[in-house]
Amino acid sequence: MYNDLIPAFQIGGIVAAPKGNMSYRDIKKVVLDRIQNRIWGPDSLLPGEIELAEEFSSTRTTVNRALRELAEEGFLERKRKAGTRVLHSPARKAQFAIPLVRDEITDAGATYRYSLVKREVMPAPSWLTAKLALKPDREVLHLQCMHFADNEPFQLEKRWIIVESVPEVLEADFTASGPNDWLVQKVPFSNLELSFFATKADEDTAGFMDASVGDPIFATQRTTWLRGEPVTHAVLYFTPGYKMTTRL
């Protein structure tokens, strides 16, 4: 039984409310503990905020913040009039930072190097026109770039930028630094779609990465809009063996 894992002093410890004033963090801890120890089991209804405020000798405002954050973290469901309920499946949410490649590399203590592989102004390929619901015959700037960590291939970036949305992109110089840096500086974005998937290295990709044809490749795809207008679409191919990790 999992209770074997609970040190004796904790059974009556955290679960019971300490005396004196408690911060919203303390309240979060106690509530979470009660959920995890099934004192408030799945689907059960928690006492109202006022009642909890009394128990914790705190105020409703403070209790509210604690419960609100636990709800954001996916432990509780809150509805007006209905009250606060424990979710049966811990619909926890994972959070990932979306860093710039450069930051990702330098944060890992490696040296970052960038290289422009290809630059081409072209009509939007039909799959892109369809995906972004572009008007027909739009012009796009297509770029391919490599990002290195300690001179090892780290990421291959294929990017399409809608010229109409960012005309000045045609003047930009991408030989020294990548389009992501430039876009971040020049264009705010209001909306983003992010996907993760697995693909296999084709001959082209394998050539750039330290990979063999057919190697499994972890890839992410990002599409960005500004106030409803598509700005750019990028696919990022990671070096074989890459693993994206979070803790919570």
Partner DNA sequence: CAGTGGTCTAGACCACGCC
Partner DNA sequence: GCGTGGTCTAGACCACTGA
Q: Are 178 and 155 in contact (CB under 8 A)?
A: no
Give the C-alpha distances (Å, rounded to integers) separating 8 from 3, 12, 13, 38. Answer: 9, 8, 9, 16
Among 81, 93, 118, 135, binds its own copies (CB under 8 A): 93
- The site map against its own copies for 35-74 (x = CB under 8 A) is xxxx---x-------------------------------x
- Kindly state the tokens that stand for 17: 């409310």
The residue (of 60 and 131) whose beta carbon lies closer to DNA is: 60
25 scored as a contact of its own copies (CB under 8 A): no
Q: Rounded to whole angstroms, how far apart are CA atoms 134 and 129?
A: 5
Verify binding: residue 165, its own copies, rule CB under 8 A.
yes
Residue 142 partner contact from its own copies, DNA, none using kind-dependent CB cut-offs of 5 to 8 Å = none
**SS3 state at 23:** coil
* Residue selected from 193, 202, 204, 210 as contacting its own copies according to rule CB under 8 A: 193
Q: Which is nearer to DNA, 67 or 101 (CB)?
A: 67
Binding residues for DNA, rule: CB under 7 A, are 21-26, 46, 48-50, 57-62, 64-65, 67-68, 71, 78-84
Residue 144 interface partner, choices its own copies, DNA, none, CB cut-off 5-8 Å depending on type: none
112 binds its own copies (CB under 8 A): no
Produce one character per residue of 78-102: b if its CB has 16 or more CB atoms within 10 Å, e if not: beeeeebbbbeeeeeeeeeeeeebb
- Least separation in angstroms between CB 51 and DNA: 8
Rule CB under 8 A: is residue 116 a binding residue for its own copies? Answer: no
Q: Which of DNA, its own copies, none does residue 88 bind (CB under 5 to 8 Å by kind)?
A: its own copies
Identify whether the C-beta of residue 198 lies closer than 8 Å to the C-beta of residue 219: yes
User: For residues 96 and 244, is the Cβ–Cβ distance under 8 A?
Assistant: yes
Per rule CB under 8 A, is residue 192 in the interface with its own copies?
yes
What is the per-residue DSSP string for 55-91? HTTS-HHHHHHHHHHHHHTTSEEEETTTEEEE-SS--
Asked if 194 and 244 count as a contact pair (C-beta separation under 8 A), the reply is no
Q: How far is the CB of 68 from its own copies (least distance, A)?
A: 10
* Binding residues among 205-224 for its own copies as defined by CB under 8 A: 214-219
Query: Which residues are 153's β-sheet partners?
Result: 148
- Residue ranges binding its own copies (CB under 8 A): 1-2, 4-7, 35-38, 42, 74, 88-100, 103, 165-168, 184-200, 214-219, 226-227, 229, 231, 240-248
